[in-house]
Structure 1
Amino acid sequence: MDQPVSTLASSPTELDRPVAATDRPRFAHPGIAFGCDYNPEQWDPSVWREDVALMREVGVDLVAINVFGWSSLQAPDGAFDFSALDEVVELLHGAGIRVNLGTATASPPPWLTARHPEILPVMADGTTRYPGGRQAWCPSSPVFRQHALALVEAVAARYADHPAVALWHVSNELGCHNAQCHCDESTRAFRRWLRERHGTIDELNRAWGTSFWSQRYTDWDEILTPRLTISTRNPGQVLDFHRFSSDELLGYYRAEAEVIRRHSAAPITTNFMVTAHIRDLDYWTWAPDVDVVANDHYLDHRLGEPRTELAFAADLTRGLAGGEPWLLMEHSTGAVNWQPVNLAKEPGQLLRNSLAHVARGADGVCFFQWRASLQGSEKFHSALIPHAGTDSALWREVAELGRVVGVLGEVAGTRVRADVALLFSWESWWAADGENRPTHEIAYLDQVHALYGALHDLGATVDVVRPGADLSGYRLVVVPGLHLVRDAEAAALDAAAASGTHVLVTFSSGIVDEHDRVRPGGYPGAWRDLLGIRVEEFAPVLAGTGLALESGAAAAVWAERLEATDADVLDRFADGPAAGMPAVTRRTGTDGAGDAWYLATLLERDDLRDLVGRVLTGAGAASEPGASADVEITRRAGSDGRRYRFVVNHGSADVDVDARGTELVTGIAVDGALAVPAGTVRVIREEGAA
């Protein structure tokens, strides 16, 4: 079957964008993209032809280049030398490989920081970070921006009309290391941002609650970035600094994109980092500015459930794309190099991880990087070609993945459909994990991952959406620990429930407004009426302290002194600081409204899954038969009637699924039970009734 063209584009939101959504270029690719970062400057030119031949051999058809090329392109006198990059572009183009062209601005060359040390970032403790790593630049520095945009101008002018350029790649992982800077230039930029946001110094004082601890400001020049203090810092100031820092880097992205657009009509993106260990950028505000949403994701083995976090990150990336297909710009063939213990992937895991992203909406599977580096900080980071070369088990897995991606080309352009939405907010992450909070034994992502994990284990397909989004069409909306919520965002959930959507809200939700100001009258202030409850006092417990519910369910970390004002009590605390008080409530919807559930503690995994299963059933939300913690089952469908079911078996036992159609990985026809061996993936083009 011919591979269809995948057309990817982020969908518009209410946020302003420099170019109208309908006018934005779209990234079109034949089938599912199979790609990588390529850093030819690390290799002798004699290797380049061999590399391109091997790329063709395994089916690589999209290559990111010039991501870290600044020091190779520009000399200290400002002169550019594009001869090597020209040769690489021509080699790739001659082999029919499309180029994702980087702007080379990710890290400045040593000559720039030596001549202009004022561009170096300053940390919260007032110390400067020096060259020798990457991203050694301040996002607010006009000097850095001047030099970087001159480089972008030269690159864009030279390659704008080259037929190999399918996509522009602005910088790289913006904000991975330098998201927050506290230098004098950043301080001035922060003050300008605050003026625009708050208007007057009196409004800022109200927003930050500066009457506390005698922090009232009388002039903008008195305001600093939230450097480290001898006590804890003003949480309103810290929250605004998070927002400012995200906006400042977004402004930098926009500046590069504006230069490119003067020369080229090709789509522009940058690689997001939707992952558990990066929290500094509010990608809900970034997504409208990219022509295709692209994400970098690496399994984080510091987490209890890294595989489930992969699924969550993929669903969140799809949410950022407005449900449209997206690109997995980077992931790894094996181990990374930046965790305390860098675990190699077991045989078959490369294919499973890659297709788990495709199952959740990715129309591209790309890697860092093509060849494993022999020197530098990432020399032990895995790559498509390992240090062992092509006579290796890993290379053979890469070849098999390339084959499978090729046969899955017909899936491109289809979308994932979900009955369940989960509300997620970077702002709430920043606020909930502040310095002074009820307990440090649980963080925002702990609740998010726990609730998502229960839905995942039950086989529910989940859209991760921003607060305030249109929730019509969902049978169930889950709200885990959404600490910060605006009035309009709270009203959106109320409206969804009134129209028949069921909701499940967990503790620490709806507590503060957008200024991190507590909503008075009892928790959860934003949703007391919706849930029919009132919490008088938080009652967290010490680490290692178990909590029991009257039903026999086990919990930990958190309890609340709660009364049900207009809700049924389904379970109570049997012990602990809230003994005898409600732990699980449900306000039954009337006149067509949906049920509103509240969970006042963190249940252990099995008990949480049982509760979420009850909520799913009550909402009439679909779950995939046969799905479990070890078996992911996800569907994609096209507007033309194409339907595909992905079965990713991470477990140690074979499973059977009922299917009719064609299994694409093996090419066999299926009419009844399909065996999915342990550790494998099967993708069924479904036929017959939906």
Structure 2
Amino acid sequence: MGIHFGADYNPEQWPEEVWEADLRLMKQAHVTLVTAGIFSWARAEPRPGAYDFDWFDRVMDGLGGAGVRVCLATMTASPPPWLTRAHPEVLPQGPDGQRRWPGGRQHYCPSSPVYREHAVRLVKRLAARYAGHPALALWHVGNEYGCHTRQCYCDVSAADFRDWLRARYGSVERLNDAWSTAFWSQAYTDFEEVLPPRTAPTFPNPAQQLDYLRFSDDALRRCYLAERDVLARLSPSVPVTTNLMPFHKPVDAFAWSRDMDMMALDFYQDPFDPGTHLTAAYTFDLMRSARGGQPWLLLEQAPGAVNWRSRNGPKPPGAMRLWSWQAVAQGADAVLYFQWRQSRGGAEKFHSAVVPHAGTDTRIFREVSELGRELASVPEIAGTRVARPTAALVTDWDSWRALELDSHPSTALRLPELALGHYRPLFEAGVACDVVPPDRDLSGYRLVVVPNLYLLTERAAERLTAYVRGGGHLLVSFFSGVVDACDRVHPGGCPGPLRSLLGLRVEEFWPLDEGATVGVRGVAAVRRPGGPGRAEAAAGAWELPSGTADLWSEAILLEGAEPVARFADGELAGSPAVTRHGYGTGTVTYVGTRLEPALMRALMDGVRAAAGVRPVLAGLPEGVQATVREGDGGRFLFLLNHGARAADITLPCPMADALAGARGERSEHTYRIALPARGVAVLKDPRRAVSASG
């Protein structure tokens, strides 16, 4: 089938005479897949137990007849008014006890048995009716879980939370120990005394907050699983997914990936953010890595502007194409939009769509149709995989949630910003990267980067230690190894179970004031890290240049590690800022502050060179991204120019333009590519498959 292309389709917003025109336009735009039914509950079940699928039969039959496959939603994302009127107890409550009312969407308590009962009943009807429909390609459960109702604090949720705690801890004594309830006289004598972390006079118990975030994620996943299990039973041959969101703390993408047949993502680039492609790259790498490199689906993006930011700029010419191809280059096998036809009313009427208010004689429709034609011209890309990276960045949802709790040395530490600060120097160097959880097998990577792993379990520490002992190169940044899974400080303080591995201990945290910086001075003649037997070990010395840092500093005491850089001024002047330590046959670098971007790039370049991690394509101009996908369909080199200037790129061997046919041109082999700003090149690489570092 090739790379799927399409949009969310919401025919219930339009009279049926529009549907026929939609099918003609879909063919014109080269649409092959639509998501249908996401917000159709009120139309499909207008009264309790009274189902009306006749209209949806016509939708499915029409799409199938037009050659368009359907990602069929379970319709449960937004309960109809009759449900909340009959059962107001399904409505969620905030931590202040205030009820969240209907009128928007996702107005349900994830723990509500009433909501789940009605949702499952609807899904059973859908599965029985459409499981064998020829247009059905996959099932789409719910929609953007946790987008609006991330946690509910009602009494139903409180009872569900207590059951969750009983299953997790077994006894109230173990709960008290895990939550450190000896502090502030919080000890419980019975699980029935436990409440959600509702609004309190001051800081709620941090371990209670952390467990409630975990519980709320599980409650959302149980909603998903209740529907997924029905589909697996009644429609076992059809894959099931749901659309996740980027940098979405309520939903652990790695945990959810185990229950999804394929990963799916909604990503909305911000045209006003010059780094939006960097955030996209990190997120796309995470989606691909979550299921071991399996192709994933971009189920939603905007063809132009969105409606929900404070300033909603349109995508300038070429940006939509560039960012769509970026998803494909990083492993997506589908590119879809929200939505097909722009709504006339409702909260998203100013959200762009494939068919705008102004009709098809528009830039958006022309650009979308042209992209559809391009994607259709290279069907052999579908099913190929991104060449296996030799670098990985560790992300852990538990640590993220704990890191951003209150009552910390600084509340300025935000994992998305910190993670991107570590991802950026790899991306800018043209290095392919996986994004993985700390319990993943790391042995296949030459370099593993661990940003700010505040919460660290003994198991994760053992895995990181074994990785370095076996010859791996590890980079760990500040405020890591501080607490255990219950948010209790490790004995001996930071870095806890990483102390021997890092060859240091942190005596004191010194967060910097807002806007303050501190100088960092490189230490001369530091040997390039390299385990015995590696050619890099004999590659000479390297020195980190001097520069500045901000946000954070630490009083580091060396216990075997060597300084790579020292603080040049401030209260910690002369003490280590960056260290390295040989452990086993590997090396670990520790960064005790947030280095300015240029200095972080210099450090990462030195560490990755020592690890033998090379870019996908050497000599890339600034702003150009290169990725490789390979498989039975061949080997493809993607070049994407995110910069503001045209770029000339020298290729390692003659390659043919895979998109020439879509433009009606003859494909010629060439050693050089001239890529305009926002330009895209997809090249057929005749070489055999090699690793991403080759």
Paired with 1:412 and 1:541, the residues of 2 have a C-alpha distance of 48
Letter of the aligned partner of 1:225 in structure 2?
A: P
Is contact 2:425–2:604 with CA below 8 Å preserved after alignment?
yes
Is contact 2:48–2:83 with CA below 8 Å preserved after alignment?
no
Equivalent position of 1:347 in the other structure: 317
Is contact 2:655–2:686 with CA below 8 Å preserved after alignment?
yes
State the Cα distance separating 1:629 from its structure 2 match: 5.4
State the Cα distance separating 1:42 from its structure 2 match: 0.5
Letter of the aligned partner of 1:612 in structure 2?
A: M
The question of 1:453 aligning with 2:424 is answered yes
When residues 598 and 77 of structure 1 are mapped into structure 2, their CA distance, relative to the original with a 3 A threshold, is closer
Paired with 1:301 and 1:490, the residues of 2 have a C-alpha distance of 40
Is contact 2:381–2:633 with CA below 8 Å preserved after alignment?
no
TM-score (norm 2): 0.93
Q: Secondary structure at the match of 1:314?
A: helix
State the Cα distance separating 1:550 from its structure 2 match: 1.9
Equivalent position of 2:105 in the other structure: 134
Letter of the aligned partner of 1:135 in structure 2?
A: Q
Paired with 1:533 and 1:475, the residues of 2 have a C-alpha distance of 23
Equivalent position of 1:13 in the other structure: none
Which of the numbers 46, 53, 75 marks the counterpart of 1:75?
Answer: 46
Q: Secondary structure at the match of 1:262?
A: helix
Correspondence 1:363-442 to 2 at 5 A: 363-416=333-386, 417-442=388-413
Equivalent position of 1:568 in the other structure: 562
Equivalent position of 1:499 in the other structure: 470
Paired with 1:302 and 1:267, the residues of 2 have a C-alpha distance of 39
Paired with 1:180 and 1:48, the residues of 2 have a C-alpha distance of 38
Correspondence 1:252-263 to 2 at 5 A: 252-263=223-234
State the Cα distance separating 1:137 from its structure 2 match: 0.5
When residues 148 and 629 of structure 1 are mapped into structure 2, their CA distance, relative to the original with a 3 A threshold, is farther
Paired with 2:48 and 2:287, the residues of 1 have a C-alpha distance of 41
Is contact 2:41–2:76 with CA below 8 Å preserved after alignment?
yes
Equivalent position of 1:465 in the other structure: 436
The question of 1:647 aligning with 2:639 is answered yes
The question of 1:557 aligning with 2:551 is answered yes
Equivalent position of 1:308 in the other structure: 278
Equivalent position of 1:66 in the other structure: 37
State the Cα distance separating 1:273 from its structure 2 match: 2.7
Is contact 1:166–1:266 with CA below 8 Å preserved after alignment?
no
Paired with 1:274 and 1:260, the residues of 2 have a C-alpha distance of 23
Equivalent position of 1:530 in the other structure: 501
Equivalent position of 2:79 in the other structure: 108
State the Cα distance separating 1:589 from its structure 2 match: 4.5
Letter of the aligned partner of 2:305 in structure 1?
A: A
Paired with 2:140 and 2:383, the residues of 1 have a C-alpha distance of 21
Is contact 2:277–2:642 with CA below 8 Å preserved after alignment?
no
Residues 84-135 of structure 1 deviation map (CA, whole Å, 9 limit, x = unaligned): 1111101100011111111111001111111111100011111000000001
Equivalent position of 2:143 in the other structure: 172
In structure 1, runs of 5+ residues without a counterpart are 1-29
Is contact 2:271–2:315 with CA below 8 Å preserved after alignment?
no
Q: Secondary structure at the match of 2:668?
A: strand
Is contact 1:274–1:317 with CA below 8 Å preserved after alignment?
no
Paired with 1:628 and 1:441, the residues of 2 have a C-alpha distance of 34
Identity in percent: 46
The question of 1:478 aligning with 2:470 is answered no
Paired with 2:447 and 2:371, the residues of 1 have a C-alpha distance of 36
Equivalent position of 2:543 in the other structure: none
State the Cα distance separating 1:77 from its structure 2 match: 4.3
In structure 2, runs of 5+ residues without a counterpart are 523-545, 662-666
Letter of the aligned partner of 2:95 in structure 1?
A: A
Paired with 1:75 and 1:31, the residues of 2 have a C-alpha distance of 38
State the Cα distance separating 1:485 from its structure 2 match: 1.6
Equivalent position of 2:681 in the other structure: 682
Paired with 2:497 and 2:181, the residues of 1 have a C-alpha distance of 23
Letter of the aligned partner of 1:52 in structure 2?
A: L
Paired with 2:243 and 2:499, the residues of 1 have a C-alpha distance of 35
Is contact 2:144–2:243 with CA below 8 Å preserved after alignment?
yes
Is contact 1:271–1:329 with CA below 8 Å preserved after alignment?
no
Q: Secondary structure at the match of 2:684?
A: strand
Equivalent position of 1:290 in the other structure: 260
Letter of the aligned partner of 2:562 in structure 1?
A: D
Paired with 1:166 and 1:249, the residues of 2 have a C-alpha distance of 24
Is contact 2:150–2:250 with CA below 8 Å preserved after alignment?
yes
Equivalent position of 1:88 in the other structure: 59
Is contact 1:456–1:629 with CA below 8 Å preserved after alignment?
no
State the Cα distance separating 1:195 from its structure 2 match: 0.2
Q: Secondary structure at the match of 1:510?
A: coil
Which of the numbers 158, 167, 176 marks the counterpart of 1:187?
Answer: 158
Equivalent position of 1:19 in the other structure: none
Matched pairs, number: 657
When residues 304 and 125 of structure 1 are mapped into structure 2, their CA distance, relative to the original with a 3 A threshold, is farther
Equivalent position of 1:673 in the other structure: 672
Which of the numbers 116, 119, 124 marks the counterpart of 2:95?
Answer: 124
Equivalent position of 1:242 in the other structure: 213
Letter of the aligned partner of 2:645 in structure 1?
A: A
Is contact 1:168–1:266 with CA below 8 Å preserved after alignment?
no
